[in-house]
Structure 1
Amino acid sequence: MGPIMSTGEMGTGHTVLGCHTADKAVITLFIVLVLSCLVAVVSNGSIIIALGTKWLLRRTLSTHNKLLISLAASRFCLQWVVIGKNVYVFLNPTVFPYNSVMQLLNLIWDFLTATTIWFCSLLGFFYCVKIATLTYPVFVWLKYRVPGWVPWMLLSAVGMSSLTSILCFIGNYLIYDNFVTSAQQPRNVTGNSLKDTLEQFYFFSVKVIMWTIPTVTFSVFMALLLVSLVRHMKKTLLASSGLQDVRAQAHMKALLTLLSFFVLFISCFLSLVLGATSNSPFQEFRYWMWQVAIHLCTVIHPIVILASNPGLRAVVKRDCC
């Protein structure tokens, strides 16, 4: 689930790179980051084209594919924002993190990051309800109700993401306003005090709380789905001749795919939380290392989706030809 650190996660202090080796390391990480984002752009763009073509031809799209194309679209836009912001800070390493350009970039980043996490959570919830072989009355009831809820679920995710981005934008604006006021009054120290308070408590609390809610939802339902698939696979293996059975292989492949989704999503969430605690200037090696680590998860996930979905692979190959 992949993203860069927002303005609440970066300080205004800047250090000059001490040696030419550090410059090379930062340049290398910057190139790796941009290339990774471009791979994610191509992967998510392929999913959008494949599902969009199917939508246009059939005039309809399954509920699962609506969630999938929404996730791919949010990630596609997010990767371009990541590229744009990192090119900007790479060319202007001593830029004030709360100027007008940075406020705009981080407003868009906060919104797209939150929507990506929420869409992943909704996709995990949908997988669990539709695929899990649980016989609880609640799950049976949800199997028939969830498809009709999907448009409202997507709108709710957009609404929650908008709330997160607006709250962060307000904090960014307050810091910038106090910076301008402090610049006019050199002896005024309230500007730095407010900035430190917002960075340490306000931004971190808002982001972690808003990221944790969909992450916990995703984790709970994916855990239920994995348990259900493991139980079903055991029954299938007992009733079949072994792993060569086609159904057993299909269950094993589905189990591994879902497990990879779960690991990637949790890794992305942990990277975001750890990144939110970092306070590194733009030109430091640590900042760019976190960028690469965070976005590595968002690059792998769409590739896994394409590799595990024969229908998407067929459409992509057809369009390429």
Structure 2
Amino acid sequence: MPLLEIFLWAILVTVSIVGLLGNGFITAVNGHRWLRKRKMLPCDLLLTSLGISRFLLEVISLMGCVLYYISSEISLDSYAGAVIHFSWIFLNMTSLWCATWLSVFYCLKVANFTNPLFIWLKLRVNTLMPRLLGMSITVFTIFILPPFVDYSINKKWCNQTGTLPANASQSAICKTISGLFGPPQLVFGSINFSINVTASILLLLSLWKHMRNLKNSSADVKDLSTQVHINVMKPLLFSLFLYLLYFPGMVFFTMNIFTFGRNESLFPRLLLSAFPSAHSIILIVTNPKLKEVSARILRKTKDILERRD
């Protein structure tokens, strides 16, 4: 195995492990809190759904890579590969919608605009966000589930004959799965991208505007509030930057531009893994409850290690 490939795989595995640990931690903490209180706030619901979908997404991604290198017969266009590919598409889009509506939730909660529509959404954000999440996932499932069922039924015939004589227009199903799921994934991905980026930019503009208004305040208040706003804007900018890198990676992967199994195919996979992993760490650090639990775990771990020494 070439040195470059080993290096890229090492980074990919490391990033995937960070994603598994980060999203697993988010799911465990919020799940434990839900078991104790038997209720979950809309923000925690979005955060938990995001953690679960990303955790399963990382598992599916690693499973697909491992199975491919174990057996060359498990290709993208085999039935097993199709199941893995479909699972990845569903979980990827689910995680994207969770992240997007979470960004919209934060934007509506924190930002201040006088637009009537924005005010209307702000007053109903707790009710709207879970419903919009459910609607988004449902609509996407309706678009991709029938093609997958059709593919699953006809693939058996394709394996035997290599074509579908009853309907020549469906012969493409025998050739590739990328062309089958690619268009709806790109359409929904583009819609998701537009909403997420818009919400992030609006929140950043609102924070920046508020920082400028602080110039009329006293020096102590101005310095303290400015630092708070800067601390909020930094992770927002970093998350937005990672998402801007993530989207091209998703496009490359969806359009199957790079041949799977070759070194160049690892670059879009790195882009696809970097955003979920890094974003999970950002969410843990910026969420007071998650940050408190993580700090408590780190302190206990440190105490245990010191006792052993």
1:8-27 to 2 correspondences below 5 Å: 21=2, 24-27=3-6
CA contact (8 A) 1:237 1:243 kept: no
1:61: how far off? 2.8
1:162: how far off? 1.8
CA contact (8 A) 1:171 1:203 kept: no
**Residue 55 of structure 2 corresponds to residue 76 of structure 1:** yes
> Structure 1's 196 and 184: CA in aligned 2 closer, same or farther, altered over 3 A?
closer
**1:248 match:** 226
Match of 2:120 among 141, 144, 154: 141
Which residue identity lines up with residue 257 of structure 1 in the other structure?
P
The DSSP-based 3-state class of the residue aligned with 1:245 is helix
**1:264 match:** 242
Kindly provide the CA deviation profile for residues 170-223 of structure 1, in whole angstroms up to 9, marking residues without a partner as x.
5754783564244499xxx999866668745x4332211011112111122222
Match of 1:122 among 80, 101, 108: 101
1:316: how far off? 2.3
- Aligned-pair Cα RMSD in Å: 2.9
Which residue identity lines up with residue 86 of structure 2 in the other structure?
L
Return 5+ residue gaps in structure 2 as ranges: 301-309
Kindly provide the CA deviation profile for residues 267-286 of structure 1, in whole angstroms up to 9, marking residues without a partner as x.
21121012223344333111
Find the aligned partners of 1:149 and 1:57 in 2 and give their Cα distance: 25
Match of 1:67 among 46, 50, 53: 46
Kindly provide the CA deviation profile for residues 240-265 of structure 1, in whole angstroms up to 9, marking residues without a partner as x.
42797222111111122222222222
Find the aligned partners of 2:5 and 2:220 in 1 and give their Cα distance: 51
Kindly provide the CA deviation profile for residues 43-76 of structure 1, in whole angstroms up to 9, marking residues without a partner as x.
1111122222333334433222221111111101
Which residue identity lines up with residue 77 of structure 2 in the other structure?
Y
> Structure 1's 276 and 246: CA in aligned 2 closer, same or farther, altered over 3 A?
same
**Residue 36 of structure 2 corresponds to residue 41 of structure 1:** no
The DSSP-based 3-state class of the residue aligned with 2:124 is helix
Which residue identity lines up with residue 127 of structure 1 in the other structure?
Y
CA contact (8 A) 2:182 2:254 kept: yes
Higher relative contact order (Cα pairs below 8 Å, separated by 6+ residues): 1
CA contact (8 A) 1:167 1:206 kept: no
Find the aligned partners of 1:182 and 1:280 in 2 and give their Cα distance: 28
Q: Report the count of equivalent residues.
A: 296
Return 5+ residue gaps in structure 1 as ranges: 1-19
**Residue 307 of structure 2 corresponds to residue 307 of structure 1:** no
Which residue identity lines up with residue 290 of structure 1 in the other structure?
P
CA contact (8 A) 1:40 1:76 kept: yes
Match of 2:189 among 183, 187, 211: 211
Moved more, 208-217 or 234-243: 234-243
Instruction: Name segments (4+ residues, structure 1) moved above 6 Å.
Output: 189-192
CA contact (8 A) 1:237 1:248 kept: no
Kindly provide the CA deviation profile for residues 91-115 of structure 1, in whole angstroms up to 9, marking residues without a partner as x.
2245332222112212211110110
Find the aligned partners of 2:23 and 2:178 in 1 and give their Cα distance: 32
**1:96 match:** 75
**Residue 261 of structure 2 corresponds to residue 283 of structure 1:** yes
> Structure 1's 286 and 175: CA in aligned 2 closer, same or farther, altered over 3 A?
farther
**Percent of matched pairs sharing the same residue:** 24
Find the aligned partners of 1:79 and 1:182 in 2 and give their Cα distance: 35
Which residue identity lines up with residue 93 of structure 2 in the other structure?
A
> Structure 1's 279 and 192: CA in aligned 2 closer, same or farther, altered over 3 A?
farther
